[in-house]
Structure 1
Amino acid sequence: MKLADLAKELHISTESFIKFITDFDLELSECITTNFDVKDDFVRFARENISFLQKYEKDLKADKSVEDIAENIHQPAEKIVEIIKKEKPKLFDNGLYKSSISSFGIDHKLGGNYQFVYDYFGKKTSLKERDFIGYRDLFFYISQELQPFINSTHLSEWGLHRPAGIVLYGPPGSGKIFWAYKIAEIIGYQFKEVKKHYLGSSFVDGNKSRFNEFLVNMLKEEKVLLFMEDFDSIMGIPHDEQSAAECDEETKDIILHYIGHFEAEDLLMVGSANSIIEIDREVLAPGRFDVLIPIFPPNLHERCEMILFHMMDHLTEDSVLMKILTKNQADHLPFWNEIASKMKTFSNTMIIDFTQSLKKRIRNIYLNDQSEDIVIDAHILEAALRDASAKLTEEYLNQVDQFLQDAAINNYDEFQHRIEGLKNELEDYKVVEAPTKTIGFTHNDEEK
């Protein structure tokens, strides 16, 4: 059963279900699959607690003030204000909160007893068994953008067409190709990549081939997601002082020529870009690549989960490293919180670099001492952190800064928490220049 089918059966919107899962911090793997099939435990919970879910949806849709919420959940208004400041919901002009805030969600955060929700779900899915770590908000946002692929009635009932092109934008190493694969999985398309040698003219098996022929062949295949890296370069704005390469201009013209046929031929093109500022506006026009999805570096909690996942990935229970991790209590998330808090703006690849460096250092100590009594202390953690920080260059930080500007313009409402959080992390790297001292004599008031 799809989530949309369950929502229709219970007369509760899919948006309310998604917000409920987020408010109560339910693990996605226990609720729904990547292609929105609902898990049995979640179906049972929803059917047996339909009255609660109806109350939840009614409250979610209601315009409400802090006083209304306080009266509804019997919590002090000042505590509710603290929670709302973190949520940063949208406000009407009259001071009432829009439907992005749930009284039940706030009550849950303030210690309200909702154990009946969790009684329906078993042991939390281990990290290694999850489809992906964190990014629940991004997953739901992408899924909403893909609804015309998932639900055929979007066209017949609402006239909403499937997008022909999507741009995934974010700093290098943030996982754009991962999400391109995930999109293909969600909509059931086969993943194909545009290799660099496909662009312009090339020789394949001794025969001259052009990108035009390649794209025409892709249109003939069944349900294809065509992934293109360096999209901002290939589809960029040509400058007088530095004109685009001939093959790039030709590629752009070919794509814009055929893009009107993508929907009818079940082809979706997904571009990967570090920034969208250099992409030709003609490319981003409605009906073309008009769906822009920001791919963020992981936040603190996601960094902890990623470190733990990559430290334990492929380990057997009786492996030497697993024993060392267990003795240090490094097989649990809290151990990694302090070092992860120092990885501000780190990309996914930097986190993997950290875990690889740390594993090598632990292995070297073991080979030298032949003992499992190894303490994973601050010294060894900081050394691995320095290794991983090699990619934290000025160029990378500038790319993060540009990404934040892009995201603030195009996706602020959907990802304001991530944008503000990443902005605060980036501030730690910005150098504040000391004011230039005035040449001349110092006056008495200046000495003070």
Structure 2
Amino acid sequence: MKLADLAKELQISTESFIKFIQDFDLELSECITTNFEVKDDFVKFARENIIFLRKYALDLNQNKTIEDIAESIDQPTDKIAEIIKKEKPKLFDNGKYKSSVSSFGIDNQLGGNYQFIYNYFGKSTPLQDRDFIGYRDLFFFISNALEPFLNHVSVKDWGIHRPSGIILYGPPGSGKIFWANKIAEIINYDFKEIKRHFLGTTFINNEKTTFNDYLIKLMKDEKVLLFLEDFEELMGTNSDDHSFNGCDEETKEIILHNISHFEEDKILMVGSANSVQPIDKEILAPGRFDVLIPVFPPNLKERSEMLLYHMKDNLSEDALLLRILEENEAHQIPFWNAISKKMQVFSNTMLIDFTQSLKKRIRNIYLQNHSSDIKITQKMLDGALKDASSKLTDNYLNQIQDFIFDVSVNNYDDFPQRIEALKKELLHYKVVDLPNNPIGFSHNEDI
């Protein structure tokens, strides 16, 4: 059963269900799949608790003040104000919060008893079996952008067009190609990457082929997602900071010429960019690449989960490393929280580098004493952290700064908590003790 079908059956909006999952911090894989098939436990919960869910939906759709919320859930106004300050919801001029604020969600954070909800979801899906780790907010944001694909929203009925072009933007190593693949999976399109060597003129089987020929050939196949990296370089403008070569200019013109046919031909092009700023505004015009999706570095909680995932990934049930992890209680997320706190603004790639370095250190000790009685020490963790930090360059930190600017301009209302948390983490590297030097970043040698 699709989430939209369950929503129709219970007369509760899909938006309400999505906010409910986020408010009560339910693991996505326990509720729905990436193509919005509802899990049996969630269907059972929804049908047996329809009265509560309708109350939740009614409250969610009401504009309310802090005092209204306090009266509704019998909680102190100062505590409510503290939570709302962190969540940064949209506010009307009259002081009422828009309908994205749930009184029940706030009550849950303040210790309200909602155990009856969690009783339905007692079995947590192992990290190795999840479609992805964390990023629940990004998944729902992407799904909303893809709604014309998912629910067959008709242009004739509603005048809503399917996106022809999407730009995934974020710092290097944040997982843009992963999310491009995930978008293809969600809308059931074939994923095809346009390699850089296909741009311009190439020779295939001794036949001269231009990028225009190549693109037209791809457009003959229906339901295809075309992925293109370095999008800001290919689609930039001529300026003092960015010089165009003839091939890039030709590529841009070919894409602009053909993009009007993408929707009809069931083609979706997804560009990957480190920054939106250099991209020609003509590219971002409505009907072209007008859907911008930010891809953030993982937050503190996601880093801990990813570290555990990558430490256990591909291990057999009787793996020696797994036994060592269990003896150190490192087979559980809490073990990784402390080191995760030291990984401010780390990319997904840096997390993988850390786990690879740590695995090698553990194996080296095993090769020395041939015993699985190995303690994972702080020195080992710090050594692996130092190795992973090699990619934490001034250039990378400046790219994080540029990303914060981009996402604050384009998507702040969609991700206020992530943006503020990322700003705070970036401050960890700001130069504060050398006022005579130019403003910049300093690599922290202690991490």
Pair in the same fold by TM > 0.5: yes
- Counterpart-to-counterpart distance in 1, 2:157 and 2:74: 42
Equivalent pair of 2:147/2:153 in contact (CA under 8 Å): no
Equivalent pair of 1:298/1:348 in contact (CA under 8 Å): yes
More displaced 10-residue stretch of structure 1: 69-78 or 201-210: 69-78
Provide closer, same or farther for how the CA distance between residues 49 and 156 of structure 1 changes in structure 2, counting only shifts above 3 A. farther
- Counterpart-to-counterpart distance in 1, 2:356 and 2:17: 39
Match in the other structure for 2:409: 409
1:55 aligns with 2:40: no
The SS at the match of 1:285 is: coil
The SS at the match of 1:357 is: helix
The SS at the match of 2:96 is: coil
More displaced 10-residue stretch of structure 1: 218-227 or 94-103: 94-103
What is the CA-CA distance between 1:317 and the residue it aligns to?
A: 2.9
Match in the other structure for 1:285: 285
Amino acid at match of 1:31: C
Provide closer, same or farther for how the CA distance between residues 129 and 436 of structure 1 changes in structure 2, counting only shifts above 3 A. closer
RMSD: 1.3
1:252 aligns with 2:252: yes
Structure 2 length as normaliser, TM-score? 0.96
What is the CA-CA distance between 1:436 and the residue it aligns to?
A: 5.1
Give the alignment of 1:98-137 within 5 angstroms: 98-137=98-137
What is the CA-CA distance between 1:318 and the residue it aligns to?
A: 2.2
What is the CA-CA distance between 1:288 and the residue it aligns to?
A: 0.2
Q: Rg bigger for which structure?
A: 1
Match in the other structure for 1:441: none
Amino acid at match of 1:82: E
Deviations 1:145-190 (A, max 9, x none): 0001111134243211001000000000000000000000000000
- Counterpart-to-counterpart distance in 1, 2:136 and 2:243: 40
More displaced 10-residue stretch of structure 1: 67-76 or 123-132: 67-76
1:333 aligns with 2:328: no
Provide closer, same or farther for how the CA distance between residues 99 and 242 of structure 1 changes in structure 2, counting only shifts above 3 A. closer
The SS at the match of 2:158 is: coil
What is the CA-CA distance between 1:95 and the residue it aligns to?
A: 1.3
Give the alignment of 1:289-300 within 5 angstroms: 289-300=289-300
Match in the other structure for 2:440: none
What is the CA-CA distance between 1:121 and the residue it aligns to?
A: 2.4
Identity %: 67
- Counterpart-to-counterpart distance in 2, 1:241 and 1:21: 44
Give the alignment of 1:393-404 within 5 angstroms: 393-404=393-404
What is the CA-CA distance between 1:435 and the residue it aligns to?
A: 4.4
What is the CA-CA distance between 1:313 and the residue it aligns to?
A: 0.9
- Counterpart-to-counterpart distance in 2, 1:384 and 1:63: 49
- Counterpart-to-counterpart distance in 2, 1:72 and 1:242: 56
Give the alignment of 1:301-340 within 5 angstroms: 301-340=301-340
Equivalent pair of 1:147/1:154 in contact (CA under 8 Å): no
Amino acid at match of 2:365: I
Amino acid at match of 1:218: L
Amino acid at match of 1:255: I
- Counterpart-to-counterpart distance in 1, 2:294 and 2:75: 36
Question: Any unmatched runs of 5+ in structure 1?
Answer: 438-448
1:201 aligns with 2:193: no
Amino acid at match of 1:8: K
Provide closer, same or farther for how the CA distance between residues 35 and 241 of structure 1 changes in structure 2, counting only shifts above 3 A. closer
Provide closer, same or farther for how the CA distance between residues 424 and 241 of structure 1 changes in structure 2, counting only shifts above 3 A. closer
Equivalent pair of 2:168/2:272 in contact (CA under 8 Å): yes
Provide closer, same or farther for how the CA distance between residues 54 and 215 of structure 1 changes in structure 2, counting only shifts above 3 A. same
Aligned positions, number: 437
- Counterpart-to-counterpart distance in 1, 2:54 and 2:435: 59
Amino acid at match of 1:179: W
Amino acid at match of 1:138: L
Equivalent pair of 2:90/2:98 in contact (CA under 8 Å): yes
Amino acid at match of 2:18: I
Provide closer, same or farther for how the CA distance between residues 435 and 165 of structure 1 changes in structure 2, counting only shifts above 3 A. closer
1:186 aligns with 2:186: yes
What is the CA-CA distance between 1:380 and the residue it aligns to?
A: 0.3
Question: Any unmatched runs of 5+ in structure 2?
Answer: 438-447
- Counterpart-to-counterpart distance in 1, 2:241 and 2:61: 53
Amino acid at match of 1:196: R
Match in the other structure for 1:430: 430
Deviations 1:395-444 (A, max 9, x none): 1111111011000000000011111111111111111254459xxxxxxx
